[in-house]
Amino acid sequence: MAYRCVAASVAGFVQQLAVAYVANAYWFYVTGRVPDHKAPASVDQKIIERYDLEVSKWTRSRRKRAGQANVQYLRYGRFFVVLATHGEHPFFAAEGKQVRDIREKPLYFMGYSIGCRRARHGGAYHASVRIERELFRELKARFTAMAVHRSVEELSRELWRIDYEPYAPVRDQLRGLLRAINRCRKVAALEPVPSWAIRFRRALVSPFR
């Protein structure tokens, strides 16, 4: 089977990156953009061949047991990321100081901040997907500015239209946004916006279709 690397949607890219790769210890990464004068498919093939990505899961398992790193490549549009696990691999020499650790520096993509955090009390690392901090501040400022000037129905529609998949950290951000809106409405003696105005269930997508 050919190596699949082209995400069909923003949601698919984020899901594949966070759930399939970061959650499985692909913590080291570089990002890039395919130049306008180049065909994305040619860049895909070059990276696949350079890092020998078109291998079976058994080969990846054998490499892991031998202390070698595994590498994955993912692209949406002209934006791409190459990720690696711990171990030895030409990726680290080739990319050098460009390599980032997603546990220390989140990856930013289309308004998402994708990182990796420890569970409480020193537990295992897990992927963390949230809305970028500055973008969320702007979102919060916009909603609190109109909190007392729109009806419950209008605010509910606007909240439902927020186009970020509700991963757990995103849900926390949206709950905070709703609390801020309702604080404003309480001061103005207005009906609160109900909790069902926020999407809490993430849609599972097929990343490459």
Q: Are 190 and 148 spatial neighbours (Cβ–Cβ below 8 Å)?
A: yes
The answer to whether position 126 is within a domain reads yes
The answer to whether position 183 is within a domain reads yes
State which residues form the domain around 88: 10-130
Q: How many domains does the chain have?
A: 2
Question: Can you give the pLDDT at residue 120?
Answer: 78
Q: Among 85, 106, 130, where does a domain finish?
A: 130
What is the number of alpha carbons within 13 Å of residue 178 lying toward its C-beta?
Answer: 22
Average pLDDT, integer, range 31-49: 96
Question: Can you give the pLDDT at residue 119?
Answer: 82
Is the pLDDT confidence value at 95 over 70? yes
Is the pLDDT confidence value at 92 over 90? yes
The Cα 168–Cα 125 span in angstroms is: 15
Q: How many CB atoms lie within 10 A of CB 180?
A: 15
The Cα 16–Cα 23 span in angstroms is: 10
Instruction: Name the average pLDDT for the chain.
Output: 95
Is the pLDDT confidence value at 133 over 70? yes
Question: Can you give the pLDDT at residue 1?
Answer: 62
Is the pLDDT confidence value at 170 over 90? yes
Is the pLDDT confidence value at 209 over 90? no
The Cα 35–Cα 97 span in angstroms is: 21
Local confidence band at 75 (pLDDT 50, 70, 90 cut-offs): very high
